[in-house]
Amino acid sequence: MSRGGSILLDRFHHPAQVVVMGFGFAIAVGTLLLRLPLATTTGESAHWLTALFTATSAVCVTGLAVVDTSTHWSVFGEAMIALLMQVGGLGVMTLGTVFTLLVSKRLGVRARMLAQMETKTLSLADIRRIVARVVMFSLACEAVAATVLTVRFLTGYGEPFGRAAYYGVFHAVSAFNNGGFALWDDSLMRFVSDPWICLTIAVTVVVGGLGFPVVFELMRSWRRPGRWSILTRITVATTAGLLLSGTVVFLVTEWSNPGTFGPLDTAGKWLAAFFTAVMPRSGGFNVVDISQMYPSSWLVTDLLMFIGGGSAGTAGGIKVTTFGLFAFIVWAELRGEPRVNIGHRSLPEAAQRQVVAIMALGTGIVAVATYVLLVITPYTLDKVLFEVISAFATVGVSTGITTGLGSPEQVVLVVLMFIGRLGPLTLGSALALKERSRRYQLPEERVIVG
């Protein structure tokens, strides 16, 4: 590793601190690139806050935008957004590990710790092989999605090959990394009845959001569910349950809404409902006008966004694993069980504390940000809450108020996207100078709860 990298690692001893610095550096570089006159269609430098907001949204794979991506940014600017989404999706530290492998052909212990921090692997032994598989799997999924989309744009919409390939690659990268950026001003609304576009995007979003450990385990043992780890079992079961329930709820709620599902035929309504249920995982695309949805659908979307996708995936939110484990913790407490058991395994107390901490921190951050935006904006609670959760969970869908926000409100969303991508616990541990452990234990005292 270079002397500069060694100095950085010596200064920030906790791996989480380097992850935070890495993402911050990527956002800074992205802001500078998007500030170049070459990045806009007018040839003039974008406002620094517009560039910062867009770079943060891309690196944090959110998709919220204060300007129209298709008209404000040039081809160079759009390419930079796609590159930033790729960097954010794979993780700055994962890419840094790959570059280290290419240059030095070796990894030190600290570099392995950094790669483990980003990929959420449970062992340091095979980190080199894991990182290589992560990169290859990501590129392979994007290549498949890009091929399908390119062929569809070419044959179904008469686009010339160059433009069809450009659309295909951009949206494949955006979908797999759960970026949510689209090259049309209505996102994907013009394709609401096209299963080739909608299902390709939706499946790519789900695969990217499952998380690499889960995907690799499914690839190895998909025929033997009995051998799945707790992580895989909870992720698959919770994901399937949320997708099914979300599809049914959106279908029932929006069936007759003239602004969303109303004009569609039955098959189109089912397709739109499934797509709409997938996107709160952190996908960020939309095939119907979100601003025309009923407030009850906004509330369901809020819940799905807050939960998010799988651990170590490209999705945001508190993660389906956290939500699933929290349900087991609550169930064990209601039953008076001294331990939290999942199948034939017991959940460690440290993991239980982490689950509760993530839930509490996530709820607190959303509550504080919602209060701040309610004070400084004229928008109602339902719209502000939707926007805040979309930013914190790095989803990117919007009721339409983001483009009307002023500078202070945009800064709030930038901070939310940054915190949401890294995770409350990761950011908190990065701010701590060192871990502290007590060498004594105080006597217990029962406290009345509730």
| 333-371 pLDDT, tens digit each | 888 888 888 877 788 887 888 888 889 999 999 999 999
Q: How many domains does one find in the chain?
A: 1
Within a domain: 439? no
Contact (CB, 8 A) for 110 and 14: no
Q: What is the pLDDT of residues 81-129, one digit of tens each?
A: 999 999 988 875 565 444 444 444 444 555 555 555 555 554 555 567 7
Please indicate, yes or no, if residue 437 is contained in any of the structural domains: no
Distances (CA, A) of 266 to 188, 234, 272, 279: 19, 32, 10, 20
Structure tokens at 237: 């079961």
* 122 in a structural domain: yes
Integer Cα distance of 346 and 213 in angstroms? 20
Q: Residue 396 is encoded by which pair of tokens?
A: 């990117």
At 342, which helix (H) or strand (E)?
strand 341-342
pLDDT at residue 424 in the model: 66
**pLDDT score, position 131:** 76
For residues 171 and 183, is the Cβ–Cβ distance under 8 A? yes
Residue 443 within a domain: no
Q: Looking at residue 63, what is its pLDDT?
A: 92
Is the residue at 189 inside a domain?
A: yes
Q: How many CB atoms lie within 10 A of CB 449?
A: 4
Q: Is residue 444 assigned to a domain?
A: no
Can you give the pLDDT at residue 122? 47
Low-confidence residues of the chain: pLDDT under 50: 1-12, 96-107, 122, 431, 433-434
Range of the domain at 181: 3-431
Alpha-carbon dihedral angle through residues 136, 137, 143, 148, given to the nearest 10 degrees: 170
Inside any domain, residue 136: yes
Q: What pLDDT score was predicted for residue 4?
A: 47
Does residue 436 fall inside a structural domain?
Answer: no
Q: Tell me which DSSP letter residue 311 carries.
A: T
Is the separation of the CB atoms in 253 and 296 below 8 Å?
Answer: yes
The count of other CB atoms within 10 Å of the CB of residue 125 is 10
pLDDT at 340: 86
The CA distance from 249 to 45, in Å, is 44
Whole-angstrom distance, CA of residue 307 vs CA of residue 320: 6
